[in-house]
Amino acid sequence: MTKRTPSQFGLPPELVDTVSKLGNHIRVARKRREMTLDDLASRMFVTRKTLSRLENGDPGVSLAVLASALWALGFEKDLLEIVHPEKDNLGMYLEQRRLPKRVRRSKTGDDLDF
Amino acid sequence: MTKRTPSQFGLPPELVDTVSKLGNHIRVARKRREMTLDDLASRMFVTRKTLSRLENGDPGVSLAVLASALWALGFEKDLLEIVHPEKDNLGMYLEQRRLPKRVRRSKTGDDLDF
DNA sequence: TTATTAAGGGTAATTTATGACTCAATAAAC
DNA sequence: GTTTATTGAGTCATAAATTACCCTTAATAA
């Protein structure tokens, strides 16, 4: 009944800190480019206040806002780096561990031709 | 008057694609760990539907949801990689370009002792 | 094939984000 | 020191996210 979104009852403090640092990184990138909050916000098609929330580490802002900021600052590719399958060492290990020791062809022989 | 959030009137298609790929990466990581949507969602303190939106690339989900997913999958450090000041080549160039050619001490001599 | 489970998707109620506007405080420029 | 511009923050209205619940479809296992 009661709603408990992560932003409402609080993320783990570690995550709050992480999002906060991300916001600061965006702020640094903006200032290095000599852009005001209004400058960057208008390029992102959001208001100054929304961008301000992002820079201040508010976990409630949407992915769209984050993505727009990255795009407007020239970091649009960075989002593809995170959770990348090829960098997921644990995941790759788990996947290979699940492969059968031997491969066994089905009797019906209805295999694919590839 | 009219509200135009990025998610509403649409992000640049390039960004929609990026967010979509990010969602897929999360999905791959989840499946590699043999977790169902319910499994992961409960660890994130979020409903299955919200996680589903994230995996399907909905730009409207909050940063909190993304961060929770990364945390629950063991990628919590990835968020610190993006927009990292030390990887911001353009930003570092702009910053250094703005440094004065010569440093000039103020006459009053009210400098800091550091 | 059949049974089981995961995933997709709809609705209504509630919370929250976002925009638009304004004012105050702070910092930068002169 | 004075002026100007940037930033922070509050309010209200509206759009959207999120939950909880339910049902259907698709995929997996037996």
A16, part of any domain: yes
Average pLDDT over residues B22-37: 94
Domain count, chain B: 1
CA–CA gap between residue A26 and residue A29 (Å, rounded): 5
Chain B contact present for A40, CB below 8 A: no
Q: Please report which confidence band the pLDDT of residue B7 belongs to, taking 50, 70 and 90 as the band edges.
A: very low
Contact positions of strand C to protein Cβ (< 7 A): 5-11, 14-21
Q: SS3 helix, strand, coil % of chain A, rounded to 5?
A: 60, 0, 40
Report CB contact under 8 Å: B79, A5: no
The pLDDT value recorded for residue B79 is 95
Tens-of-pLDDT digits for all 114 residues of chain A? 334 455 456 688 889 999 999 999 999 999 999 999 999 999 999 999 999 999 999 999 999 999 999 999 999 999 999 999 989 889 888 878 777 777 766 555 545 455
For residue A31, the domain's CATH number is 1.10.260.40
The pLDDT value recorded for residue B37 is 95
The pLDDT value recorded for residue A86 is 87
Using C1' positions and the CA of B31, the closest nucleotide is C6
A21, part of any domain: yes
What predicted TM-score, i.e. pTM, was given to this entire model? 0.86
B110, part of any domain: no
Q: Choose among A70, A94, A95: nearest Cβ to B82.
A: A70
Full residue range of the structural domain in which residue A94 is found: 12-98
Estimate in Å the CA A22 to C1' D6 gap, whole number: 21
B105, part of any domain: no
Report CB contact under 8 Å: B75, A82: yes
Per-residue model confidence as pLDDT tens digits over B45-95:
999 999 999 999 999 999 999 999 999 999 999 999 999 998 988 988 887
pLDDT greater than 80 at residue B111? no
